[in-house]
Chain A
Amino acid sequence: MSGLKAGPAKKWMRLRLGRRISQVVFFGLFLSLIFATESLTGASFDAGNSQDVPWPVEAFLDLDPLAMITVWLGTFSVPQTLLWSLIILGSAVFFGRAFCSWICPMGTLNHAFSEFRPGLSKKTKRRRNEVSPARKIKYLLLLTMLISALFGSAIVGIFDPISIVTRGIALTVLPIADYLLSGVIGAASDSGVIAVQHLSDHLYESAHGFVVHQGGLITVGGVFLSLFFFTVLIANRFVPRLWCRYACPLGALLGISGRFGILTLRKDSQKCTHCGKCEQYCSGAASPVPETKWERSECDMCMNCVSVCQDNALSFGLVGWKDSSANDGPDIKKRQLIGSAVTGVLLIPVIRSGSATSPMGGRPDPACIRPPGAVEETEFLKRCIRCGQCMKICPNNALHPAVDEAGLEGLWTPVLVPKLGYCEPTCTLCTQVCPTAAIRRIDEKQKSGSPTGTHRENTIRLGTAFINRGRCLPWAMGTPCTVCEEFCPASPKAIRLEEVTVNVYGKAVTLLRPYIDPAHCTGCGACEHVCPVHDRAAVIITSAGESRSEKNKLLLQ
């Protein structure tokens, strides 16, 4: 307590407090940016507002050096916004993995999920924070992923922490919150008590357009995504920050970059009384105990060890202190390196076999309908890091994480699922938030919903509608229906009606039968979405004729 000389220096405790504040602030900022996508409509907007996203909602992904390097290795170019990540990469040269426990929202979540284990003994806590050979895994994974990037795949997005946490919150936590909230509001509305109904209505009003993800459907792809996300979180209960320590490829990248960092942990073994507190609280399992070698590339600069050391035996200082002794990285065997490299070389060709991008001549998948502005598929897979921003911002809940629509490699990349939602003809939101330019920024005029409406050469098509005459009411059942034509946003309509008089059980019935005009169809999926044949629509969209692909062309001209 006060008055005693012994005890941790105030300076370090302040820095630890600073780290905690930084985590809260950055995580709050991260959530705000996710929520920001819900407030693009309302009374403050003028008629015909072109719906520009006013905030850089993908900012945390722009800061991700792993995304930047992956895109660069795949395409030898870097989107301008990703250059922000050089700040993080640059700071890693000085401060090592400080990003992990000061800024990274996934790190903050893992940190929080690791805390509050009052039942554990000091000894157990220490044991859980011992340096583990498993820390190698992340470096090997990084190597595999970088080589995959060179072979044209941004599959690293499955493991990238910023991607994990963005899609985890946006595509899992928020839909679940929506589901629970609608359950509560639905029950309150059914209660028949007016005061309760009013209260729930107000609750809905304040939650909607703020937290709740519109629609909030979780698809099969979303279920796997959800399981993965929650597994990462729950793993922290067994080993603190398990993902960060052993699996995170971004952590590995920053660890390597911090090899020549200017900061080092000074250990004074003379003062140390071997209480073990430093290791008990070490979030990176970086071996802070004096007389052991500090693991430079494991340390995430959380400032716990220096803050809890009662003996003033630990401090951070500039490199060059006589007492400094650090390990620059785990002892990775040569054959392990070769193994990862070979995996990286083989991974992409193997998982691509049979898919559209297979080098052995694959065919496009009918259900692989990409968002408007998406680049050609092989190029797309070089860039898409599966962050889920496009799926989150889609106002119609039309974009969903793929399961196998884009081959195994395309897991969790965005596909349009017209059954769940269609591509709004005037909307360009998804094209504004893609951090890696897998979806290029497009103009409203490039879609069918432009003010002049008419089809032009450069109109973006996602695919083409096909009528299943065996299921269509006017075609198969002599029953009037024009819902697909009514909803078709193209002008002139891509669904044409022709009047026929047919004989239904001896009775003459006059009907309007729909035909697709492929020259005007943009594949938005509105027809499939609204078709009254509800289970499997009588008009469906497939990727055929998508404008981004040469391979998947439909019409001559």
Chain B
Amino acid sequence: MSTDWDRRQFIKRAVIGCAGISTVSSAAVIARDAGRDAPQKNKQVRQIRNFQVPAKKDKGAGYVVVSKGNKPDLTTRRAIDALGGMSQFISPGDEVVIKPNVGWDRTPAQAANTNPLVVQALVQMCFEAKAGKVVVTDNTCNDASRCFTRSGIWKMAEAAGAEIILPASHRFRDFELGGVVLGTMPVLSPAVSGDKFINVPIAKHHGLSRFTGAMKNLYGVLGGRRNRLHQKIDDSIADLAEFIRPTLTVMDATRVLLHNGPQGGNLQDTKAVGEIIVSTDQVAVDTYSCGLIGVNPDDLPYLKLAQARGLGIADLKKLTIKRVS
């Protein structure tokens, strides 16, 4: 290779080279900014995610099915069937997002995460209702791959045909939640991109909010600095419940966490209850379920806030509870 350019040639080539590089990079920057501009245009628009479907046999807000049994999968099935069956809610070809609580690096017996059998049963029922795709995802607190593995949810859900999506920085998008305290927040995009959304929390004690269930489980779709939300926890939870209106809420109370929540760690903190609570009204699910760990729903301000915003029924006396076993 000859490198004996004279000065003129060198300058000429350098100029052409620089021009080429800057053209390509400005094109890249323009392309990138074009992508970034899109959400900003909608800045004023609240990006609400309402996954609710008008059920054919609508039982309305406040209607809760409580199914009791020893086998988490069968109990789940009975609960859904009593509500009218999965095909009431899932249309053929739907992409269904299942959002269990996979927050912690804990085993199923420790009752810090949703029971994997409940998740598996739901995945199966979605496919039986001819769902096109089922995604199971959560932005965990501990390392995501460990949480999904050790909770048993990765294995159980994937065995039933679901796709596991772990949180990763490129999977978050800024959403305008437009809540009382929650403004623009990064949201785990695959969690809210489906056609239907099934929230599958577990009933647990929580030091600050006292009870963590369905509405608080929606924290798991947020990214970024979500550890600031605790400063106004009741408003935050109500904002989240307003941001996502799940198609279905399936509360896992097969085993609940009574103390040292939300991650427990000690078997003595847990109690076998054997219940699955199902409703289209997430507020009603929490209103019923908090009693299972000995919390009075009247002591949970976020339930009242949610009811005031028309998200569901927070009054235990106004709930219609159907029990099956």
Q: Does B152 contact A (CB under 8 A)?
A: yes
**Residue A273 is within 8 A (CB to CB) of chain B in the complex:** no
List of B residues within 8 angstroms of A364 by Cβ: none
Shortest Cβ distance from residue B27 to the other chain A in the assembled complex, whole angstroms: 12
Q: Is the CB of B225 within 8 A of A204?
A: no
Closest A residue to B113 by CB, please name it: A47
CB pair B155 A45 closer than 8 Å? yes
A208 nearest in chain B by CB position: B168
> Contact between B145 and A482 (Cβ–Cβ < 8 Å)?
no
A453 to B263, CA, bound (A): 11
A424 to B142, CA, bound (A): 8
| Shortest beta-carbon distance from B307 to chain A in Å | 22
User: Which residues does chain B contribute within 8 Å of A491, judged by CB atoms?
Assistant: 259-260, 264-266, 269
Do B169 and A424 have beta carbons less than 8 Å apart?
Answer: no
In the complex, whether A77 has a CB less than 8 A from a CB of chain B is: no
A-B contact pairs, 17 of them (CB 8 A): A41-B154, A46-B152, A47-B156, A48-B150, A182-B170, A188-B170, A191-B31, A193-B35, A208-B166, A427-B146, A451-B267, A452-B267, A453-B260, A453-B264, A486-B207, A489-B263, A491-B269
B180 CB within 8 Å of chain A: no
* Interface 9-mer from B6-14, B92-100, B226-234: B226-234
A191, B154: Cβ atoms under 8 Å?
A: no
A424 touches B146 (CB 8 A): yes
Q: How far is the CB of A456 from chain B (nearest CB, A)?
A: 12
Q: Which residues of A, 486-530, contact B by the 8 Å Cβ criterion?
A: 486-487, 489-493, 497, 512, 530
Asked if A557 is at the interface (CB within 8 A of a chain B CB), the reply is no
The answer on a CB contact under 8 Å between B152 and A41 is no
B266 touches A43 (CB 8 A): no
CA gap between A491 and B104 in the complex, in Å = 14
Q: Please pick, from A41, A185, A425, the residue contacting B145 in the complex, using a CB distance under 8 A.
A: A41
How far is it, in angstroms, between the C-alpha of A43 and the C-alpha of B145 when the chains are bound? 10
- Min CB distance B151 to A, Å, is 6
Contact partner, A497, options B31, B155, B207, B228, Cβ 8 Å: B207
- Give the contacts of B163-216 with A (CB-CB under 8 A): 164, 166, 168-171, 206-208
| Contacting pair A532 B105 (CB below 8 A) | no
Chain A residues contacting B259 (CB-CB under 8 Å) are: 491-492
| B108 beta carbon closer than 8 Å to chain A | yes
What separation, in Å, do the CA atoms of A67 and B114 have in the docked complex?
A: 46
Closest residue to A530 on the B side, CB-wise? B227
Residues of A within 8 A of B106 (CB): 426, 449
Question: A208: which B residues are within 8 A, CB to CB?
Answer: 166, 168
Instruction: Answer whether residue A291 sits at the interface, using C-beta atoms and an 8 A cutoff.
Output: no
- Known A204-B170, A491-B265, A530-B227: A47·B207 in contact at CB below 8 Å: no
Q: Looking at the assembled complex, report how far the CB atom of A15 sits from the nearest CB atom of chain B, in whole angstroms.
A: 35
The answer to whether A479 touches B265 (Cβ under 8 A) is no
The 3 closest A-B pairs by CB, nearest first: A47-B152, A192-B35, A453-B266
B15 — which chain A residues lie within 8 A by C-beta?
none
Interface size class of B (residues with CB under 8 A): 35 or more
List residues 19-60 of chain A with CB under 8 A from any CB of chain B: 41-49, 51
- Are the CB atoms of A480 and B265 closer together than 8 Å? no
How many Å from the CB of B200 to the closest CB on chain A? Answer: 16
* Cross-chain contact A43 with B264 (CB below 8 angstroms): no
- Cross-interface CB contact of A396 among B116, B143, B227, B230, cutoff 8 Å: B143
Instruction: Kindly count the residue-residue contacts between A and B in the assembled complex, taking CB atoms under 8 Å apart.
Output: 154
Nearest CB in chain B to that of A534: its residue: B225
Instruction: Give the size range of A's interface with the partner.
Output: 35 or more
0/1 string, A186-225, CB within 8 A of B gives 1: 1111111100000011001000110000100000000000
- Given known pairs A452-B267, A491-B269, A534-B225, the reply for A186 and B150 (CB within 8 Å) is no
In the bound complex, what is the Cα–Cα distance between A490 and B34 (angstroms)?
48
Given contacts A43-B155, A532-B225, contact A452 B266 (CB under 8 A): yes
Choose among A190, A192, A425 the residue that contacts B105 (Cβ–Cβ < 8 A): A425
Q: Which residues of A contact B230 (CB under 8 A)?
A: 480-483, 486, 532
Question: What's the Cα separation between A185 and B168 when bound, in Å?
Answer: 10
CA distance A209 to B153 in the complex (A): 18
Q: Is A389 an interface residue (CB 8 A)?
A: no
Name B142's closest neighbour in chain A (CB-CB): A424
A486 to B263 alpha-carbon distance, docked (Å): 8
Q: In whole angstroms, what is the CA distance A186 to B158 when docked?
A: 27
Chain B window 115-149, contacts with chain A (Cβ cutoff 8 Å), 1 for yes, 0 for no: 01000000000000000000000000111011011
Asked if B206 contacts A486 (CB within 8 A), the reply is yes
The answer to the question of B159 belonging to the interface, with a C-beta cut-off of 8 Å to chain A, is yes
How many Å lie between the Cα of A489 and that of B106 in the bound state?
10
Q: Determine whether B38 belongs to the interface, using a CB cutoff of 8 Å to chain A.
A: yes
A48-B108, A532-B228 known; A42 and B145 CB under 8 Å?
Answer: yes
* Cα–Cα, bound, A424→B166 (Å): 18
CB contact list, A438-494 vs B, under 8 A:
448-454, 473, 479-483, 485-487, 489-493
Could you tell me the distance in whole angstroms from the C-beta of B260 to the nearest C-beta in chain A?
Answer: 4
Whole-angstrom CA separation of A531 from B230 in the bound complex: 11
The yes or no answer to B262 lying at the interface (CB within 8 A) is yes
Cβ of B56 < 8 Å from any Cβ of A? no
Contact check, A395 vs B155: say whether CB atoms are below 8 A apart: no
Per-residue interface assignment for chain A, residues 253 to 279, with 1 indicating a CB less than 8 Å from any chain B CB and 0 otherwise: 000000000000000000000000000
> Which of chain B's residues have a CB closer than 8 A to the CB of A51?
146, 150
Verify A49–B142 contact, CB threshold 8 A: no
Cross-chain contact A482 with B208 (CB below 8 angstroms)? yes
Query: Once the chains are docked, how many angstroms separate the CA of A209 from the CA of B145?
Result: 9
Supposing A451-B109, A454-B266 touch, asked if A512 and B208 sit within 8 A by C-beta, the answer is: yes
In the complex, what residues of B have CB within 8 A of residue A453's CB?
110, 260, 264-269
Complex contact A41–B266 (CB within 8 A): no
Closest to B164 in A: A43
Q: Mark B11-52, 1 if CB is under 8 A from A, else 0.
A: 000000000000000001001101110100000000000000
Residue in chain B with minimal CB distance to A200 = B170
Q: How far is the CA of A530 from the CA of B28 in the complex (A)?
A: 36
For residue B219, give the distance in angstroms from its CB to the closest CB of chain A: 11
Q: Is the pair B227, A192 in contact by a Cβ cutoff of 8 Å?
A: no
B158 touches A43 (CB 8 A): yes
CB neighbours (8 Å) of B207 from chain A are 482, 485-486, 493, 497, 512
A45-B260 contact, Cβ under 8 Å, with A452-B266, A482-B230: no
Determine if B107 is an interface residue (Cβ-Cβ < 8 Å). yes
Nearest CB of B to A398, in Å: 10
Among A41, A452, A487, A492, the residue within 8 A (CB) of B146 is A41
- Of all chain A residues, the one with the shortest Cβ separation from B155 is A43
